[in-house]
């Protein structure tokens, strides 16, 4: 009988806690800021993006390892962690659109941070298209590793820097003061008791899915090597 790893049990426990306590915890209702119950999306939308950043970071670590000492295993790890990060990124976009529809009246308003997030995810989609277009495995791994590093560093201007320099409905951008978005002062200790476990839980879920895909890829690689 296969024993489940402790961190997988932790992932299950944290996500069960997030998905239950997240809908039960008391949330604030700041005067003049109609967040209402939609603020509960904080336990899903934001942690998914945090998980995305963590998986992308792990991905470029393996990309750098591959460039320093090429081996197929590091390439698999790099590609699959990038895939797992993109999965969480897409979930983050979807939950963000749901939140935006409730708060701003439409799912996509052309907000600077929405556009930047979409561009960041599309850059990673281009990474998978690039890898799929190359037939030579060594060239695919080498070019993919270089592009992966480029894609990671593009996250910073598209998600963190440019939205803060332009007009944005999101908190932190120019002209964002007083808009119906989340302000750090709106959170409470009770909310943070759900939010922080959510960060870990969604990240572990991304890692779990990624390690399953890595295992499949390595098995397929060994079968091809053995003819």
Residue 86 has pLDDT above 70, yes or no: yes
pLDDT exceeds 60 at position 211: yes
Whether 206 shows a pLDDT value over 60: the answer reads: yes
Q: Give the domain range for residue 86.
A: 7-18+38-174+186-225
- Whether residue 70 lies inside any domain: the answer is yes
- Is 70 exceeded by the pLDDT of residue 109? yes
Asked whether residue 104 is assigned to any structural domain, the reply reads yes
Query: Rounded to whole angstroms, how far apart are CA atoms 19 and 9?
Result: 15
DSSP secondary structure of 2-71 = PPPPHHHHHHHHHHHHHHHHHHHS-----TT---GGGGGGGGTHHHHHHHHHHHHHHHHHHHHHHHHS--
pLDDT at 136 over 50: yes
What's the confidence (pLDDT) of residue 35? 53
pLDDT cut 90: percent of the chain above it: 60
Over residues 8-30, the pLDDT tens digits come to 999 999 999 999 999 888 887 65
Stretch 141-163: mean pLDDT, rounded?
Answer: 92
155 — pLDDT class (breaks 50, 70, 90): very high
Q: Is residue 1 part of a domain?
A: no
CA 53 – CA 51 distance, rounded (Å): 5
Query: Binning pLDDT at 50, 70 and 90, where does residue 178 land?
Result: very low
Total domains in the chain come to: 1
Residue 27 lies in a domain: no
Q: Is 142 within a domain?
A: yes
Q: Specify if 179 maps to a domain.
A: no
72 occurs within a structural domain: yes
Going by pLDDT thresholds of 50, 70 and 90, the confidence category of residue 36 is low
Q: Is 30 domain-assigned?
A: no
* CB-based contact 187:195 (threshold 8 Å): yes
Mean of the pLDDT values across residues 199-204? 97
Q: For residue 171, is pLDDT > 80?
A: no
Query: Is the full-model pTM beyond 0.85?
Result: yes
Q: How far apart are CA 147 and CA 124, in angstroms?
A: 9
């Amino acid at each position: 009988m296969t024993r489940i790893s402790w961190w997988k049990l932790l992932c299950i426990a944290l996500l069960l806690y997030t998905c239950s306590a997240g809908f039960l915890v008391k949330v604030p209702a700041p005067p003049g800021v109609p967040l209402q119950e939609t603020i509960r999306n904080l336990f899903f939308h934001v942690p998914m993006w945090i998980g995305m950043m963590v998986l992308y970071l792990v991905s470029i670590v393996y990309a750098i390892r591959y460039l320093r000492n090429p081996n197929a295993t590091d390439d698999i790890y790099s590609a699959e962690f990038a895939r797992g990060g993109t999965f969480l990124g897409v979930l983050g976009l979807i939950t963000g659109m749901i939140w935006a529809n409730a708060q701003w009246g439409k799912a996509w308003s052309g907000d600077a941070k929405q556009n930047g997030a979409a561009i960041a995810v599309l850059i990673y989609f281009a990474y998978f298209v690039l890898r799929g277009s190359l037939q030579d495995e060594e060239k695919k791994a080498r070019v993919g590793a270089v592009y992966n590093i480029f894609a990671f560093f593009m996250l910073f201007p598209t998600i963190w820097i440019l939205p803060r320099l332009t007009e944005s409905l999101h908190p932190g951008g120019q002209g964002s003061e007083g808009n119906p978005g989340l302000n750090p002062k709106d959170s409470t200790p009770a909310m943070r008791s759900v939010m922080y476990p959510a960060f870990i839980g969604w990240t572990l879920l991304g890692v779990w899915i990624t390690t399953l895909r890595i295992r499949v890829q390595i098995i397929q690689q060994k079968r091809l090597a053995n003819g």
